[in-house]
Structures are given as C-alpha cells and as structure tokens.
Structure 1
Amino acid sequence: MTTGKRRADELLEDPAVLEALLRDPKKWMKRHRLEESDLDLNDEARSAATRAEKVAAKADELSRLPLVEALPRLRELAEEVWGEDVEVSRVPFGVSLAQRRPVPPPPILDDDPFATTGTGSISCTFRLKCKPDVDR
C-alpha cells in the first residue's frame, strides 16, 4: 500500500479534498501518493459490508408490518448478526442501527488513509428499504 501525506481523518472530513477527488481523481491520487487499489474496501470493511447487507435484506422483509411489530423485530435482526452491541440512532423518517465500534477504536495509521474499524450499519426509512453501509 502506498502512503498519503495527510492523515486519514483529514482526507475523509475535508469537503474540499473530497471535491478535488471527484473533479480529478488521477491528479488527486498522485498528489496524495495513493493508488486506485488504496481506495478499495479492505477485507475487514468488505466483511462489515456483507454483515450489513445481510441485516438490511432481512430488515426489508419487515416493511409490510405495522411499526409497532416491525421495530422490535428490527433490533432482534441486528442482534442476530452483530450481537447485543447495537447502537441505535435517528435518521429522517427512520432509524439507523450500527454495530458498536471497538473501545478504544483501533488507531488509524498514516500509512492506511482509508482504514476502517470493520463495523457495519443500516439506515431504515420507515416502511421503505434499509440501506447497508460500512462505518469508519
């Protein structure tokens, strides 16, 4: 893996840097000394994505149920895959469930600008589909 000059949190949180990536990816990667493969999901993130997709697919089946029945079952589905360490938060017109991150989180190293904790999440709009995601 190549190394970038800036810390991962700076790269991922600075809108101007991300805007530059979208405008000219080749120039951006050269500037930050990254290869295209450095932007790919690593094995840990890929595994987290698979777990999140599994929860989201099962959760989508609940959309036909009344909310009073679906919501408790939604949490149960998440716990089946992620265990009891599930964080719940609000999203517009729905909920987000995430696998709790390890405490303390693993350090993000300068030589891995896109390191992840390997945790997944889903965002579910009430009565609509759930979307899986990988968290940092």
Structure 2
Amino acid sequence: MADKRKITTADGLVADPPRDYFEDVYAVVRQIPVGRVTTYGAIAQYLSLRAGARMVGWAMSSSHTHTDVPAHRVINRLGILSGKNFFGSPTRMQELLEAEGIRIENDQVVRFKELLWDPSVELN
C-alpha cells in the first residue's frame, strides 16, 4: 500500500515529500557511530529541513526497507525511544541500543547528553 502522507510546502501547497529527502536523512543516520544516538531534530537542523523533526521521523518510520540504516540510534529530543513501535517488537529498539552498550531505563537513554551525536558539530 502506498504511503498517503503529504507535506505542506512553504507556499501552502500540499505535496508528496521528495524521495531524495529520505535518502539525505538516511545518509546522515548511517554516520551515527555505534554507541551514540542523535535526535530527529538534530538531523533536521543539520539538513536545514523546514518540515523539521516530524519529517525526519517519517523518513525513519520508512527506513525498515534499508537494512544499512541504524534507525535505532535516532530518538526524540528528551532521549526517549519514541520510534520503538516501528521495530516489529516494542523491545527491539532497546535491545539494539543495549547491544551497543547504551543503557536504557523506562524507554529513555541513560546519559543521553553524553551520548548525543550532533551532526551539525560532527559533520562540519
């Protein structure tokens, strides 16, 4: 089934998001080091995306078809595993992060600020 979600452009038009937008997001996510996390908003800021964190979230929810995209390393701005339901099991995202040495308590990354990888800093 095709994805029916649309975006509203700066001039108020409703359109499909460009597919290369997803690839831009995935290119950033592929660079997140093992044992580190980033946020939807940090990726959006780095890519200068007007639609922001929600569009990054949309791209991440579609990333399951790309086995080389470590989507589990992208969390919300509070360090919470908000995308965990896109992993086929409510515990899979946590399991993947813990396998990389990241401690999780109550669906939240422990030491979030220390583990945060900011593409605007790391890739510039």
- The structure whose RCO (Cα within 8 Å, separation 6+) is larger is 1
TM-score if structure 1 supplies the norm length? 0.28
Looking at secondary structure, tell me which structure has more helix per residue: 1
**More strand, by proportion:** 1
**TM-score normalized by structure 2?**
0.30
